[in-house]
Chains A and B, each alone.
Chain A
């Protein structure tokens, strides 16, 4: 009979059990009083062993199930996260698209398509801005209304294309003559409005004279001879506390005087 080593493995256990079975079966030991209790112990051992294996098996099963479930959950989570990111990305793109469209529309809604100067809406916004600024800062602004002299003659005599070309040349002259801080736009027809923020009358007058000279220098070639043009300007300075409408009226009256006095001049009102 062999002794059992303390750390017997499965192979040793199977060998030992087989050896005990053999001893129990042997007729030599039938009369041995230890035989019956040993046989019962062996049966009990086998039963417990089987239970243990079943338990381990069940436990492994649950463990695997949990692992599977959590990995499926994390896969699903990853999938949804990816989708959400994609949705946000696409949605952002659409929003960007709308924003730039909006900006382009705003730009075109403030621009005169012929001269590419600001239009009347643009000028109104600037005038409101100037009014708002003058309530906090004491510096007054100057306004000038410019009207092309005898524009109807250009349209009637040379045609509307020449009229349009003249307006474009005038727009160029205006852009070239004003300062960076000034605003100019097409007020309507052959009328232009100049805004000089925080400017003394004398300085604004210098600029309108520069504008008038630049317009006087325009000469557009035509087969019947070059087309030249001049402009009359009514200039005024905002009086402390007044809104732009009052200043505009004064500039308009000054323009009328400039026309009456013989055109091609700036009159201060």
Chain B
């Protein structure tokens, strides 16, 4: 699975854009699908394939607002993949943007960042 893809967002799922050529995965919106593990399978597979097949940098750009528990679990799995790649010397990084009016999201992103040793930037957007 070395193709780019876009999943348009719905009320319960985030918009996901995976660009293989740019080495960029973007996710934005709320995430509380009925079955998060099914919903995120393609995204997890994409990250795994990219890290295995490519040697180029991988960047995640996140604008996630609300997540249910199983979505949080999937995000932690993705960060684990990045952490593993980072330890092997790969250039990986996360940029988490939050609405400056919603500081709670910043605190959540900080919780996610804990234990991650790869570059993980959290920035406010207006």
Contacts and interface: CB of A to CB of B under 8 A. Distances in A.
Interface in A177-218: none
A87 B36 CA distance: 14
B59 to A, nearest CB: 22
Contact of A91 (B72, B104, B107): B72
A118 to B, nearest CB: 27
Contacts of A160: none
A86 B104 CA distance: 16
Given A93-B104, A94-B72, A86 B111 contact: yes
A87 B72 contact: yes
7 contacts: A90-B108, A91-B69, A93-B104, A93-B107, A93-B111, A94-B66, A97-B108
A98 interface: yes
A223 B85 CA distance: 73
Nearest to B73: A87
Interface residues of B, number: 14
Given A90-B108, A94-B66, A97-B66, A82 B115 contact: yes
Closest 3 CB pairs of A and B: A91-B69, A90-B72, A90-B111
Given A82-B115, A87-B69, A93 B76 contact: no
B76 A94 contact: no
A97 B72 contact: no
Contact of A86 (B68, B107, B115): B115
B30 to A, nearest CB: 10
Contacts of A87: 69, 72-73, 76
Contacts of A128: none
Interface residues of A, number: 11
Given A82-B115, A86-B114, A89-B111, A94 B73 contact: no
Nearest to B75: A90
B112 interface: yes
A191 to B, nearest CB: 36
Interface of B: 66-69, 72-73, 76, 104, 107-108, 111-112, 114-115
A45 interface: no
Interface string A151-172: 0000000000000000000000
Contact of A93 (B73, B108, B114, B115): B108
B115 A94 contact: no
A98 B66 contact: yes
A156 B69 CA distance: 56
B103 to A, nearest CB: 11
Interface string A75-90: 0000000110011011
A174 B99 CA distance: 39
Given A83-B76, A86-B76, A94 B114 contact: no
A86 B111 CA distance: 8
Contacts of A86: 76, 111, 114-115
Interface string A44-86: 0000000000000000000000000000000000000011001
A97 B104 contact: yes
Interface in A90-135: 90-91, 93-94, 97-98
A76 B55 CA distance: 28
A69 to B, nearest CB: 22
Contacts of A91: 68-69, 72
A94 B115 CA distance: 19
A184 B111 CA distance: 44
Contacts of B112: 90
Nearest to B66: A94
Contacts of A98: 66
User: Which of A87, A94, A98 lies at the interface centre, i.e. has the most chain B CB atoms within 10 A of its CB?
Assistant: A94
A97 B72 CA distance: 15
